[in-house]
Structure 1
Amino acid sequence: MLDFFRQRAGSWLVKIILGAIIIVFIFWGVGTFRTGQKNILAEVNGQPITFTEFQVLYNQRLNQLRSLFGPQLNDELLKKLQLPAQVFEDLVRRKLMFQVAKEMGITVTTKELQIAISQIPTFQTNGRFDPRKYQLVLRELRLTPKEFEDLIKSEFIEAKIKSLLLTPIVATSEETKEWYIFQNEKLKILWAKLPISTCEKEVKINEKEIKSYYEANKERYKTKLKIALTYYFLPFKSLEKEIKITDKDLKNYYEAHKKEYTLPEERKLRHIFIARKKGESEEDFLKRAQEIRAKIKAPKDFAKVAAKYSDDPHTKDKGGELGWVKANEISQNLREVIFTAKEGEIIGPLRTPSGYHIFLIEKIKPAKTKSFEEVKEEIRKKLIETKLKSYAWDRAEKIYDKIVLVGGLKPWAQKENKTLVTTPLFSPDSPPPDNHITNDVISAALKLSEGELGPIMEVPEGILIFKLTKKEPPRIPPLEKIKDKVVRDLKHEKAQELCAEKAKHILEEAKKGNYQKVFKKYGLTFKESEFFTREDTEILGVPPQVLREAKTLANPGQWLDTPVLTGDAIYLVKLLEIKPADMTKFEEEKKLLQDLLTRQKREEAFNDWYKNLREKAEIKLYHELPKI
């Protein structure tokens, strides 16, 4: 069994992510991939996937990515993600799951859907499902309730199928023990490094090879989209003096918002907490609490009794002092009792789930409303701040109108003697160090044509009016412009191949004889690692790729059959020693590990089951998937 785990080390080092289903939608996408033709993209075992289904899911996923990556979501990244293919596979999976569910007699009831949706926090108000909020949120997401409920239903269906198929699969105690041993035994490796740079000296290339390499790898040298913006910044602060607030405005606000300036009642408390002892009956527990209460003859005795008898480690040494508290800082079941008691009164013992409590109301500060004079300047600042943004937007809109009338940002700036800022060319995923160039500004700029004026935008500390000064699309530079880089890349690639062959030859020699002499013969540096477990993710001096591969080794003296290639070197790796796992914590961790291993086994079983289901399915794709 242990050998089985060692052979499959890589597959057991995956992350198992468990959690609630989270569905995020940002904006409804625009445009269609197909209009005016039959609305069927494909069939799964005779059941259609429509263009509408594809478009809806594609737009949802695209906007999720836009929300996640912002301006960094460019054409290159979208191509790598292969979004159309992902969306199509998701739709195929849904169809297959619904078909299997029908065969197995699995259904999702309306009640189940209602409960699931009602428990989503986004649709709740004060912890309770709010139908009005549900409708509003879906409206903002441009989803009908049926569309949203179908999405939830598809997740339910898959979960039920998994439950039915996978419940019998359980990790045994023996498997769990073997896994624990495998993960916690300690390894020590030797590794030798062959730098790629040593092989580059031996590489010879000619012009024909350079041209061929350039032609075969053109896309690698494609430049990123670059833009430059010219903008006028209108700071909020520069307009503060123009905002006029009268005493009447201040008084009107004060009268309308008096509650904001009312200080709630506060009470200074002392506290004795009495915890229930193991095996103590409820009757004896109450009796002991009452006996402690009886020891407090007067308020002056409270601190001494608290110091001696309280089970609260945080307040015991301070005589039970809690300090000043407000009503909303006290648990609801104690609040009314404490805040209706008189100054100097001792309350308790009061029973709560955690134990008994005794309180002393030391002092009371009544609720107080601050006077107008006390808060006058605070209100002035608040009103200025409130009016400032509106005033700034009005000013910016007037400026914008003038810019349009005079024919552009630059003519307006010259006429009004205003300063403009022009950024250098930059890639949207690497903006300049300018606080005014936010992700929202970049996103807006990417929708503009060169020379076009953008929308008015609020940025930190002010308003921005900008135009797209230059837009340099991605392009593949001619060979003569990037020849040095192409030559470096070609040399490095050839050197990697050369070093790989050399490393194999060195490895064969090292296996046969004294590896230390072999390494010295070829000028390789070699080191021994510290001991590590297969759960460790970082070891001093060992590259991550080397560490990952080394974890698959099972027997001392064993070499990795294939040298490990990193960016700048090739490594030969040998397992020197294994220390047995420390089993002292096994019983403590056994349940958690068994659950984890069970989930892993079930996930692998389900993936194999679905792969087989997908391979047997009859999938007919009638049209090419939309290209990005």
Structure 2
Amino acid sequence: MLNKFRARHIKTTFWILLIVIIPSFAFWGVSSFIRGKRKNAIITVAGKPLSYSEFKEYLTMANIYYRLTMGQDFYAKTNQQMLETKAFQFILLLHKAKKDGIKASDKDVVKTIENIFSIKGRFNEEAYERNIKEQLMMTPRIFEEYIRKILTAGMVLDKYVRNVTVKEDEIKNLYKIDNEQVKLSYIYIPYSKLSKEVNVTDKEINDYYNGHKSNFSNLPRIKIRYILLDKDKDKTVIDKLLRRAENTKSIISIIKKFSLQFQTTGYFDRNHPPGGLKWGKKADELALSMPLNKLSPLIEEGRNYILFEKIAQEKGTTPSLDEVKDKIVDELKRDKIKTDTESKAKDILKSALSGKSSLSNIAKEYSLENNTTEYLTRRGLAEKTGISRDISEAIFGLKKGDVYPDIITVKRGVYIAKLEDFLPIDEDKFKKEKEDYRQRILSQKTFFRQINFFSQLEKEFPIKKLKQF
């Protein structure tokens, strides 16, 4: 029912808060650590403790914010992670508001509520009060204070983020990037063309092995027995283990106590973890340093926690020359083929730049093919050929008939390219699409400015999760 009273311009009211920025602090799931002690502090903000009941106020604010901006999509498109992320944003923004002396006025609150709960320009106070009580289970007075805080947070962003400008040349440059087109004539030399002509000597193999032994060394490997817990599905177990893991001696005792299952891996190293197991640097360093059959602490890895015992370990080793000889031969051949191909391409380029012969005739002379692209934008050119952005930009700066003055190396070969034709933008079409491009640039600039602003707020008001949680 609340959705029926959302004004069409509600998103304009809260526009500055609509971009979802994920702060670098990782406190998602913090409400799962409460354990019922709601008077205790769970985090500190700029060194000052914040209790769960206080944090819950920010969660409620986030809930109201998303209900108003998402309407009927609220349940389908929000989750606990989003609510907690937005709650932490509000913590930072309102701390900044207090420091700067920023606060939404009564007039701002009244105007916003009238906009939200008006139908055909008329505010229905009875429907407003009924829906606030039934849908949000709070009095209008409490709801209005939440709206004041949401507006105040928006005013902070308005002060530090909203004054984004877009210059005329920025709009036109982006439009050119998307819409200018070129047509190229080119000779392509794949590295594979010279593969049968390359040989490697024993001396080259030995020299490479002795100079690159560290490249072939095997990392230390371990076997573990582990339990993988999902932050959402296993909240209760995680909560209990965080309190009791230090008193637990083994995986076996844990699976019996909590009716869990464990898995056992084969040998693996940091770069090749078992399927389904996210194995980060923290877990790897701990596993290599801890003794066999000792239980690890709970380690947070993304959306999971892992608890493990190391049951076996192998030291890192350096294989013999015979064991890696084939690999060395392949590496040396690749290097030689690349060098020889690029040398040949430079000879072809000299002929092309001299202007004495066409690309078509030069290609025939070297038993290669001369092809022509369709008209391509910068993006199309990169997708079609694999050419880098910088080179693509340089090609668009050529004059018709110019040969690009260097060989163009890509993953599988080398290009020699000539600009056959250039299509500029359609000025009439640009005028029609100009405003769309302005908004596109504005959104991008605002997004990145918000990221930088929240990063600054995190330094100004550092948030820390207390150890017991």
What TM-score does the superposition give when structure 2 sets the normalisation length?
A: 0.47
More helix by share: 2
